[in-house]
Chains A and B, each alone.
Chain A
Amino acid sequence: MRSLLFVLLCLGVATPQAESMPYREYDALEEYAPSVRGDMWLSGTYRLWADPGRLDWRMAGNPEDNWKLNWKFMDPPFNQTVHGGHFALDRGEELFRALNAKGRFAACLGARQGRLKGLRTGYPRYHAQLRRIVGLEEAIELCAARQGRELQNGSYDNSAVSLFLASKSQGMPIRIQVDKGPMQQAYARGRKLFHMRTGRSNMACSSCHTHRIGLKLRNVAVTTPYGDVAHFPVYRTRFQLQSLQLRFVECNLDSGTQPLRPGSSAYTDLEVFLTALSNGYPVSVPSERH
């Protein structure tokens, strides 16, 4: 009897603790616009890279100034060189054709009548069957599994298919709705995560990418979070092909935070937030970054 009482006592003491949030520190919470134009109120560099077809080549060639172009001179159409991203694109097309032999793969991804044009610009989106939000790479993983093929989120083949689908939306503006329902909630959570300090260095994404844009880390200038999603998945010299969520893993490791697996809900919320910050900016793949 006394032992049962003790268990109940513990439960009673424990419940308020379970509800109370752990102590967290946040950078000053900034307001963001869910559109790439919002950068005019953050770094003000947007006017320099607003049109990827008309970048200032003098600025692109100046190592002191080129960060102000948000590295868009490494995307097509400015960057016309052949790099690993082009080979990944070929691989992605090959894989897509194999998976979509009966048209079920494209239908699973949400393509109407098999039309792939503009599919990329609507992801991440709320998945009615799964009752949660999925990014394009996670949707590819799920739909490929239905076709009996393992394409893990973040793997080369998964990102290659994602890159192929992005290339079908080349030049089309990213357009996700974050004004209502679960997408709005994910956007709000993502914004908060962007400002949450974590890890052994106790840093948030915003510590650098909102509050210290243009300052240098190890002689490399940090840039604005606006307009970044448009060139993913991206060819990286070290990572071959990197999806946005693998980029989060790299960011976390570089800033001393234990990374999460791609597809985790926190990363998807961050993806929603950052994609909304690229709303209105044209998809430009295949791109490369060092």
Chain B
Amino acid sequence: MHQRGKEPRPTGFLTAPGMTGLVFPRLFRTKPGAWLVSLLLLPGVWAAELPPDAAVDRGVPTMTLTPQVVVHSGRLEWEPFSRDLSAWPTLSHADRRSTEKPRRVSLTGPLEGDATRGRELAMRRDKGFCMLCHQLPGEQWSGNFGISLLGYRLNHHADADLYQQVFDPRVNNPHTAMPPYGTNRILSDQEIRDIVAYLQSLE
């Protein structure tokens, strides 16, 4: 059972405190038929799915589709999109999946990030894509939603603070437009470390 609305447990509902000891032994003593019926009745199981109006192809791993308008045709064609976006909440009224709550994290151990790899990740459209909003050195088509990152090292931020900002900036500013890269699993722990190393290298 989900602990939805109380406390998000990214590790999965099986590890929710108190659940393992209480429900599951009783569950295994009941008949398998009842177990299946109960599973269907749990709204947390069937509701936390893609809504029926999502533009997806359920038969392929990258489910998200993009429309292709064909001239002089009454049909709208759909093609696979380059990224799979089906795992996160949509605008649909039927979508019962929750947004991930802001998460405070602490950087453990030395940073050990690679600035060169970090720059590549910062430029990639499916990863950081930082220049959409920030000015970066060597990038002509940048944005100004966020602050300029030119000479960012001179701000002397702590590695741990930058790690938190990239992992989930909502902790620092709930009104931010910056994506929670770590909480929403866009970047892994090592990838965030690389990007922090890149930021700390910007003269």
Q: Which A residues have a C-beta under 8 Å from some C-beta of B?
A: 2-4, 6-7, 10-11, 13-14, 17-18, 20-25, 27-28, 91, 144, 149-159, 189, 193, 196-203, 207-208, 211-212, 215-219, 239-242, 246, 249, 252-253, 256-262, 264-267, 269-270
Contacts and interface: CB of A to CB of B under 8 A. Distances in A.
Question: Which A-B residue pairs are the 5 nearest by beta carbons?
Answer: A3-B34, A264-B53, A201-B179, A23-B98, A22-B98
A135 to B, nearest CB: 14
Looking at B72, B83, B140, B144, the one whose CB has the most chain A CB atoms below 10 A away is B72
Nearest to B146: A215
Nearest to B90: A258
A252 B34 contact: no
B131 interface: yes
A143 B95 CA distance: 29
Interface stretch (B63-71, B113-121, B153-161, B190-198): B63-71
Contact of B91 (A11, A21, A159, A260): A260
Contacts of A158: 74, 76
Contact of A14 (B33, B42, B88, B93): B42
A189 B91 CA distance: 11
User: What is the interface of chain A mostly: helix, strand, loop, or mixed?
Assistant: mixed
Interface of B: 1-2, 4-5, 8, 26-27, 29-31, 33-34, 37-38, 41-44, 47, 50-51, 53-56, 64-67, 69-76, 81, 83, 85-93, 95-101, 131-133, 140-145, 170, 175, 177, 179-180, 184, 186
Contacts of A259: 54-55, 64-66, 85, 90
Given A215-B143, A258-B56, A202 B93 contact: no
B72 A200 contact: no
Nearest to B64: A258
Contacts of B41: 7, 10-11, 14
A252 B91 contact: yes
Contacts of A156: 69-74
B85 A258 contact: yes
Contacts of B97: 22
Contact of B43 (A14, A25, A218, A261): A14
A268 to B, nearest CB: 10
Nearest to A13: B1
Given A22-B4, A22-B98, A212-B145, A218 B85 contact: no
A242 B1 CA distance: 43
Given A23-B99, A193-B91, A253-B85, A262 B141 contact: no
A198 B141 contact: no
B85 A261 contact: no
A24 B88 CA distance: 12
A264 B94 CA distance: 10
Given A7-B38, A10-B41, A20-B4, A197 B54 contact: no
B143 A216 contact: yes
Given A23-B8, A258-B56, A259-B54, 18 more contacts: A3-B31, A6-B30, A13-B1, A17-B5, A22-B99, A156-B69, A156-B74, A189-B93, A196-B91, A200-B85, A218-B143, A219-B141, A241-B69, A241-B71, A246-B67, A258-B86, A264-B53, A266-B92
Contacts of B30: 2-3, 6
A126 B81 CA distance: 34
7 contacts: A6-B34, A22-B5, A23-B101, A28-B175, A152-B75, A156-B70, A269-B93
Contacts of A202: 88, 99-100, 170, 179-180, 184
A23 B91 contact: no
Nearest to B37: A7
A20 B3 CA distance: 11
A4 B38 CA distance: 10
A6 B32 CA distance: 12
A153 B76 contact: yes
B103 to A, nearest CB: 12
A42 to B, nearest CB: 17
